[in-house]
Amino acid sequence: MDIRTTQVTPDIWMLEFAVGQAYALRLRGGSGWAMVDAGLPGHAERILDTLAGLGAAPGELREIVITHAHMDHVGSAAELAAATGARILAGAGDAAVIRGEAPEPPPVLQEWEVPIFESVGESLGDIPRTLQAPCRVDRELGEGDTLDWGEEARVIHLPGHTAGSVGVHLPSSGVLFTGDTIANAGQLTPGVFNTDRQGVLTSFRRQASLSDVDIACFGHGTPIVGGAGEALRGAAGEA
């Protein structure tokens, strides 16, 4: 399947897969590129072709932040790191799963989530049986960590979807990457298929309380460009 690419801002692009999406960022000051998440397994070559089309040479991909350990977010990370030398960063609570050292905790599904979960599995077809190599994690991330992306990028620990879920907030750009803790498929909602439903609600409200959020980029659904903070606060009041 081809990757659909949508420009979110002058320096951020969304890469859409059969399930889920990732983001490519051109870092400020000509300091290279980064990605937030790495898409489904088996898509590394297509991702690299996409990045090349955006003007990124393989050696310019510096870091890949994995927001959580689910297959549609970590799937091509090991291949991308091997091809580019990019460092892999992930939340400390999910690092053992990503490395293949621990099993992935199953979600605790609400009754209404069961048919959606089954539908997603059907849409993936043979992809779950694609060999997903364990992926090294070069840096384990926690609350308050910062990344040097030509501007300050703040790591937020957002447990609930998984134990080690993280988001990234770029205050000076007004950008927030939520991973799967928030979705925007028709409307803003907490993410589904969570290990801790109450935890993901808390993480939703935590992000809604942030200042300096004008653009929100989700693991599933359409990014909000302009007024994202206000939209998140309105949705959090109903969650």
Q: Residue ranges per domain, the chain?
A: 4-236
> Dihedral through CA 6, CA 50, CA 221, CA 135, nearest 10?
-160
d(CA 28, CA 219): 23
pLDDT of the residue at 58:
82
The residue written with tokens 């937020």 in the block is 156
The residue written with tokens 């992809």 in the block is 127
pLDDT of the residue at 9:
98
Q: For the purposes of burial, counting CB atoms within 10 Å of the CB of 90, is it exposed (0-12), middle (13-18) or buried (19 or more)?
A: buried
* pTM listed for this prediction: 0.94
pLDDT of the residue at 165:
98
d(CA 39, CA 135): 13
pLDDT of the residue at 23:
98
Cβ partners under 8 Å of residue 180, min gap 6: 67, 68, 70, 73, 161, 165, 191, 193, 218, 219, 220
The whole-angstrom distance between residue 125's C-alpha and the CA centroid of its chain comes to: 22
The whole-angstrom distance between residue 45's C-alpha and the CA centroid of its chain comes to: 19
What percentage of the chain carries pLDDT values higher than 70?
95
pLDDT in tens, 29-52: 888 999 999 999 999 999 999 999
Fold (CATH) for 4-236 = Metallo-beta-lactamase; Chain A (3.60.15)
pLDDT of the residue at 8:
98
Average pLDDT over residues 177-190: 95
pLDDT of the residue at 239:
57
pLDDT of the residue at 153:
97
230 has pLDDT over 60: yes
Cβ partners under 8 Å of residue 59, min gap 6: 84, 85
Average pLDDT over residues 121-150: 81
Cβ partners under 8 Å of residue 49, min gap 6: none
